[in-house]
Amino acid sequence: MASIAARRLAKELKEIQTEGCPVGINLVKADNFELWWFTIEVMGESQYKGEVYTLQFRFDGQYPISSPAVQFVVTEGRQAPIHPHVYSNGHICASILGNEWSPVLSVTAVCVTLQSMLASCKKKERPIDNDRYVRNAPDNPKKTQFHYDGKCCPALIAYSIMTDMGSAITDDTV
Amino acid sequence: MSSDYDYSDDDGDYYDEDMIDGTQDDYSDDDNMMDFGGDEDIKVPQKGKRKSYEVDYESLSQSAVEKLIAEDVEYIYSVCGVDESIASLLLRHSKWNKERLVEKYMDNPTSLLVAAGVTLPEPTSSPTQRSAPTSNNSSSRRTTRGASRLLTTFGGSGSKTKSPITSPTLTHYTPRSFKPKSSDPSDKFVCPICFDDAPSLRTLSLDCEHTFCSNCWAAYLASKIRDESEHAVKCMAEGCSLVCPDPFIRTVIGPSATSTEPGQEQENAKAWSHFQELLVRHYVASNKRLKFCPYPGCTNTVSCPSAADKSSLTTIVPTVSCGARGIGDQMTQSQSASGGSGGGGWGLAGKEHRFCFGCHVEADHRPVVCPVARMWLKKCRDDSETANWIKSNTKECSHCQSTIEKNGGCNHMTCKKCKHEFCWVCMGPWSEHGTAWYSCNRYDEKAGVDARDAQSRSRASLERYLHYYNRWANHEQSAKLSLDLYAKTEKKMEDMQITSSLTWIEVQFMKKAVEEVERCRMTLKWTYAMAYYLAKGNEKDLFEDNQRYALLLPSHSLIIHLRLHLRIPSDLEKAVEDLSELLEGPIEPENIPGLRQKVTDKTVYVQKRNEIVLEDTAKGFMEGRWKWNVVVEGFDEPEKVEY
Ligand SMILES: [Zn+2]
Ligand SMILES: [Zn+2]
Ligand SMILES: [Zn+2]
Ligand SMILES: [Zn+2]
Ligand SMILES: [Zn+2]
Ligand SMILES: [Zn+2]
C-alpha cells in the first residue's frame, strides 16, 4: 500500500507546487511523505481575523485509504486556535478526520474544511472537556476515538482513548 | 464411555463409592482404567439428566450460525421481495430484528432502503432521513459540506469539474476533489484515489457510479473490515451513503478476486474471512440467546436461551463451553481432544473453551451468581492496595523469619531452613491442622468480635474482608500455578512408567487428580466470595434443609456449630489440600501402588464434595434461599444490613 500512498502524495504535492494552495493556505514544508506543515488563515471577517495557525499532517502507509493524522502545531511559539472543536494540544474533533474520512479527500481538501470550520465559529472557546482530554490524550490524535455528536455541542462531545490494551474487559452485560 | 461418570442425582446419595467405575476395584483391569484415564469428560453437560448447577446450551460452529443467517435472509427475501444481498443489508441495519424490519419495510420501503444504504436518497429527500450527509442538523456536518462546496473549485481541475460519472439522480454526490480528468468515457480512466491510469486497470462502482480502481477498493475494504471491524462499509466517495453489498465485497476481495498489487491477494483472503466472521459476530451480538466464544481465534458460538434474560442471572450461573479446546494453532474442535495415550490435552493446549454466558468476570465462577461475583471482583480491585501485601507470593517463616516462596498449590509449607511446618493460609503450625483444619477455614465471628471488641467497626470489617480475600486469593494463586503443576505431574507420570510396571494409561490417575484439584479450587475460591456477602441467618435454613449432609460427615461435634455453607467447603478444602500434597510429594517407586490408591480415593472424594457444594448452592439460588448482607442487583434488598 505504501506505493499508493507515495504515488498519491507525490501527485498532491506536484499539484500544490504547480497550481498553488487555496487562498489562506500555504505549504510550509513537505520534505518527505511522512510529515507536512501548512499555515492556515481565515480570510475575511471572522473570529480569527489576522491570526495564522500551523497545521501538521502525518501520513502512514495507509494513506489515503485511511485518514492522515492532522493537528495544529503547538510548539515553537505556535498556538492552536481557540475553538470548541480544537483542544489546546492541537488535536481536532472533526468527523472528516475520523468516521467520515473518504479516500477521495486530499490534503488541501482537509485544510479547506478546517479553514471553513474556523470561519463558521461564533464564539472562541475551548472544548468543555479540554483539560481532562489534554491530560490523557495520546500523541497521535488518530488514536482518539471522537464521537461526533449530531448537535456538535462541545458539552456533548464524548470520546474514548483507545488504549494499548485493546479490548479491555467491558462490563456491558450485567 | 463418559457415561461412567454420570451421577444419578435423584437420591442425593453422593457417598456410594461404586458410582464411579474403574477407580475402586481391580486396578489391573485395563478396560476399566481406560475408562478412567482416557476420559476427562466429567461434566457431560448435554447427556442424561442435567445437574442443578448446569444449564442447557448448545454449541454452534461458524457455519451453523451462517445457516441461521441464511434462513433470516431467505425469510426477508420471501416476505419483502428484495434479493438476498439487499435482505442481508436490511437485516444488518435492523440488527436482525425481522419483525421490525418487515413492519418498517411495509410502512415505507424507500426510507428503509435509503437508511440501510441500499439505495441513494432522492436529491430532494427530507433532511430527517438517516442519510446523514444530507442532513442539516449537524453543524460539524454542515462544516464538512460547506468545505466540500469550496472543494468544487479547488485543485485546478477548474473548468473540467464536470464529472463523467455523474449519476442522474445524485449530482451532489459526485466526488469533487478527485475524479477522472476527462468527461469523455472513451478516454482512459484515472483512479481518483491512486491516480493509476493503466489501460488494464479494473474499475468498479456501486449504483452511485462512484468509480475507483479495484486495487483501491480492495485496500479500502480490507482496511475497513480488518482495522475497523466494519461490516457495513460505505462507498469510498465523500459523503456517499451507499453500503457495499456482499456480492460486491466478494467480487473485490473474495476467493476469486485477483490483484496486481503485491501481497494484496493474501490481505484479501484475510479480510474476506474476517468479513464472514464479522457478519456472524454481528448476528450473534444482536441475539440475546447467543454469545460468541471469547477465546482468541475461536469462531464458535454458544446458544443458551435460559440465560438470555438478565433476570435469570440471580438463579443460575450459566457456565458454558463452545466445544473447542486449546488456543491458536493448537485449537481443536473435538470434545474428546485430550483422550488417548499420547498425553495430549494438557495445560493450555487442552484447555476447554469454558466461559460464563452471563458476564465477563471469569470463565467459571460457580457456585456464585454473576452479580455477586462481579461485586466481589470490584471490591477486590477497589481494595487492592490494602490487599496487595497479602497477594504477595512470599511470606516469612513464623519460626525463623526466613523468606519463603510459595511455588506449588499446596498449603502445607515446610521451611527449608528450619524445617518448621506451617499452613500458608493462617501461618499456624501444620501439626494443628491435621485434626482441626476447619479452624483455618472459617471466620469465627464470635471469637473475632470478642478479640476485636475494642477496635473500630471499620477495622473489623476490613479484617473480615481480608479473611475471605486471603482465602480467595490463595486459590487464585494456586490456580495460576496449575500450569506448573501440570508440567511437573506429567514428568512424574513419565518417571512412574519407568520405575514401576504401570502403563501410560494406568498413570492417568495423576492427571485426573490434578484436573480435579484445579476444578475444586475454582469452586472453593468463589465460595469464599459468596460467603463474604451472605447474610447471617442463611446457615439456619441451610442447616434444616440439609440435615443429611451433617449425618454423612465425619462426626466432629464442633462441625455442627459451623455454618453449613462453610462446612462443606471446609471439608472440601481439607481434602483438596491433602490431594494437592500427595501430588506434589516425592514418589518412592515402592509406594506407587499405595499412592495410586490414595490419590484415586481422594480424587473421587473431592469430586463428590465439589458436586455437593455446586449442587447445593445452585439449588439454593433456584429456591431463592440465599440472602445477602448487601444490596445485590436483581435480588430483594437485605432486611437488615450487617457487614
Ligand atoms: Zn485506485
Ligand atoms: Zn458512492
Ligand atoms: Zn471457543
Ligand atoms: Zn457470570
Ligand atoms: Zn524457618
Ligand atoms: Zn491454617
Question: pLDDT (tens digit, 9 = 90+) per residue, A4-17?
Answer: 899 899 999 999 99
User: Sorting pLDDT into bands at 50, 70 and 90, what band is B186?
Assistant: low
**Ligand 6 center to residue B23 CA distance, Å?**
30
Whole-angstrom Cα Rg for chain A: 17
Q: What was the pLDDT predicted at B459?
A: 54
User: Sorting pLDDT into bands at 50, 70 and 90, what band is B10?
Assistant: very low
What is the signed CA dihedral for B105, B110, B113, B119, rounded to 10 degrees?
Answer: 160
Cβ atoms < 10 Å from Cβ of A140: 12
pLDDT at residue B247 greater than cutoff 90: yes
Distance between CA atoms of residues B173 and B180, nearest Å: 15
- Give the closest ligand to the alpha carbon of residue B470: 6
Residue A8 C-alpha, separation from nearest chain B C-alpha, in angstroms: 5
Distance between CA atoms of residues B576 and B477, nearest Å: 15
- Give the closest ligand to the alpha carbon of residue B354: 3
**Ligand 1 center to residue A17 CA distance, Å?**
23
Highest mean pLDDT among B100-109, B449-458, B555-564: B100-109
> Which residues, other chains included, contact B262 with Cβ-Cβ below 8 Å and sequence gap of 6+?
none
pLDDT at residue B352 greater than cutoff 50: yes
Give me the residues of A, 34-53, that contact B with CB < 8 A: none
Chain B residue with the nearest C-alpha to that of A84: B140
- Give the closest ligand to the alpha carbon of residue B570: 6
Distance between CA atoms of residues B271 and B222, nearest Å: 5
Q: What was the pLDDT predicted at B92?
A: 96
**Ligand 6 center to residue B439 CA distance, Å?**
7
pLDDT at residue B488 greater than cutoff 70: yes
A16 touches chain B (CB under 8 A): no
Distance between CA atoms of residues B52 and B621, nearest Å: 10
CA angle B367, B373, B376 (to 5 degrees): 130
> Which residues, other chains included, contact B455 with Cβ-Cβ below 8 Å and sequence gap of 6+?
none
Reading the block at residue B519, the C-alpha cell is 476444578
Distance between CA atoms of residues B130 and B112, nearest Å: 9
Which DSSP category does B6 fall into?
P
**Ligand 4 center to residue B618 CA distance, Å?**
13
Average pLDDT over residues B2-14: 36
> For residue B634, is it left (φ>0), alpha (ψ between -120 and 50) or beta?
left
Chain A residue with the nearest C-alpha to that of B135: A150
If you search the block for the grid coordinates 419483502, which residue do you land on?
B80
pLDDT at residue B386 greater than cutoff 80: no
Reading the block at residue B326, the C-alpha cell is 486449546
- Show the 3-state SS of B280-305: HHHHHHCCCCEEECCCCCCCCEEECH
Q: What was the pLDDT predicted at A148?
A: 59
Chain A residue with the nearest C-alpha to that of B213: A4
Average pLDDT over residues B54-77: 94
Spell B401-436 as b/e; 16+ CB within 10 A means b: eeebebebbbbbbebeeeebebbbbbeeeeeebeee
pLDDT at residue B236 greater than cutoff 70: yes
Contacts of B156 in chain A (CB under 8 A): 15, 18-19
Q: Do B177 and A106 touch (CB under 8 A)?
A: yes
Query: Which residues of B are identified as catalytic?
Result: 410
**Ligand 3 center to residue A171 CA distance, Å?**
20
Q: Do B147 and A112 touch (CB under 8 A)?
A: yes
Residue from the list B139, B144, B238 with its beta carbon closest to the beta carbon of A104: B238
Q: What was the pLDDT predicted at B288?
A: 93
Distance between CA atoms of residues B357 and B361, nearest Å: 10
Cβ atoms < 10 Å from Cβ of B13: 12
Give me the residues of B, 346-365, that contact A with CB < 8 A: 358-360
Residue B480 C-alpha, separation from nearest chain A C-alpha, in angstroms: 19
Q: Which of B602, B559, B608 is nearest to B584 (CA)?
A: B602
- Show the 3-state SS of A73-108: CCCCCCCCCCECCECCCCEECCHHHCCCCCCCCCHH
Q: Are B179 and B236 in contact (CB under 8 A)?
A: no
For B122-179, what is each residue's pLDDT tens digit?
Answer: 875 444 434 334 333 433 333 333 333 333 222 333 333 333 333 333 222 233 333 3
Contacts of A94 in chain B (CB under 8 A): 140, 143-144
Q: How many Cβ contacts (< 8 angstroms) between chains A and B?
A: 127
Residue from the list A104, A120, A171 with its beta carbon closest to the beta carbon of B177: A104
User: Sorting pLDDT into bands at 50, 70 and 90, what band is B636?
Assistant: confident
- Least confidently predicted of B333-342, B542-551, B617-626: B542-551
Cβ atoms < 10 Å from Cβ of B218: 26
For B306-341, what is each residue's pLDDT tens digit?
Answer: 998 888 999 999 999 998 888 777 777 754 433 333
Rounded percentage of chain B residues whose pLDDT exceeds 90: 28
Chain B residue with the nearest C-alpha to that of A21: B155
Distance between CA atoms of residues A76 and B385, nearest Å: 42
Q: Do A174 and B310 touch (CB under 8 A)?
A: yes
User: Sorting pLDDT into bands at 50, 70 and 90, what band is B405?
Assistant: low
Strands A158-161, A52-58: pairing is: unpaired
Q: Which of B363, B520, B483, B516 is nearest to B42 (CA)?
A: B516
Cis ω on the peptide bond leading into residue B318 (within 30° of 0)? Answer: no
Length of chain B: 643
Q: What was the pLDDT predicted at B296?
A: 86
Q: What was the pLDDT predicted at B193?
A: 93
Query: Which residues of A are identified as catalytic?
Result: 93
Contacts of A116 in chain B (CB under 8 A): 143, 146-147, 150
**Ligand 1 center to residue B234 CA distance, Å?**
16
- Least confidently predicted of B136-145, B232-241, B289-298, B405-414: B136-145
Residue from the list A103, A113, A170 with its beta carbon closest to the beta carbon of B216: A103
Cβ atoms < 10 Å from Cβ of B47: 12
User: Sorting pLDDT into bands at 50, 70 and 90, what band is B427?
Assistant: low
Q: Are B133 and B239 in contact (CB under 8 A)?
A: yes
B374 touches chain A (CB under 8 A): yes
Q: What was the pLDDT predicted at B456?
A: 44
Q: What was the pLDDT predicted at B42?
A: 35
Q: Which of B586, B215, B28 is nearest to A64 (CA)?
A: B215
Q: What was the pLDDT predicted at B623?
A: 86
Whole-angstrom Cα Rg for chain B: 32
pTM over 0.90: no
Q: What is the mean pLDDT of chain B?
A: 72
**Residue ranges in chain A modelled with pLDDT below 70:** 1-2, 147-174
**Disruptive mutation site among B134, B135, B152, B194 for chain A (greatest number of A CBs within 10 Å):** B194
CA angle B618, B620, B626 (to 5 degrees): 120
Q: Do A85 and B138 touch (CB under 8 A)?
A: no
Average pLDDT over residues B498-515: 85
B140 touches chain A (CB under 8 A): yes
**Ligand 3 center to residue B5 CA distance, Å?**
24
**Disruptive mutation site among B173, B174, B178 for chain A (greatest number of A CBs within 10 Å):** B178
CA distances from B91 to A164, B82, B85, B112, B128 (A): 33, 12, 10, 11, 21
